[in-house]
Amino acid sequence: METDRKKITEENLIRCGREEFLEKGYAGANLRNICKRAGVTTGAFYFSFENKEALLGAILDPLIAEYQKMMQQIAKREQEHPETAEQNEREIMEYICAHRQECELVLEKCSGSKYESFRDVVFNNMFTAFQGYYEKQLGFVPDKELLRILASMRLHGFLELIKGDYDMEHRMFLTKAIGIHADAGTQGLIAYFKSEKDAHR
């Protein structure tokens, strides 16, 4: 019974902490406000979590571990089977849609915590995926500044889809349309690089 009560208190603190962090960001979130939202004392909070960052970790750590595993699998699949690009985009977006609040939190609201660099991790994953894909298609790595811009555009697009007020059907339509656009652009870019390489032989 005591274990059940502790679990209910922790789940309540996690829910209220997520709300507070999303509204004010990690740095601006107030532990007393979180406890007030949850209807518990600060003593009860410290019985469940060591500090504010530990509460943030309870919200984000499962998401981060799952995301990293998924992205490794997708990067491998996309390099070995480029034709799965659309399916991969859909899988990523379905995951993001299922965890919209956590994604927004970790990408935009974690300044001042140990998670504030995670946006850079996501960006670097995208950059590496672009680099590996183009290198496989072309036999060389194209201009890295171009890849940096492409990765920035992709990350910005994900944030737009996360934060936009869309129902799931509209979100998936947008994801598919963006994927079609991106795929056509990628194929055009590969053809351009090949023609440039042939012209300089």
pLDDT at residue 104, as a whole number: 92
Mean pLDDT of 172-185: 85
pLDDT at residue 102, as a whole number: 92
- Quickly state the pLDDT bin for 2 (edges 50, 70, 90): low
Average pLDDT of the chain, as a whole number:
88
Helical packing angle, 85-98 and 52-80, nearest 10°: 170
pLDDT at residue 72, as a whole number: 85
pLDDT at residue 201, as a whole number: 56
pLDDT at residue 62, as a whole number: 92
Which range among 80-89, 133-142, 186-195 shows the weakest confidence by mean pLDDT? 80-89
Task: Report yes or no: 115 and 25 within 8 Å, Cβ to Cβ.
Answer: no
* The model's pTM: 0.79
Query: Cα–Cα distance between 130 and 179 in angstroms, integer?
Result: 14
- Quickly state the pLDDT bin for 32 (edges 50, 70, 90): very high
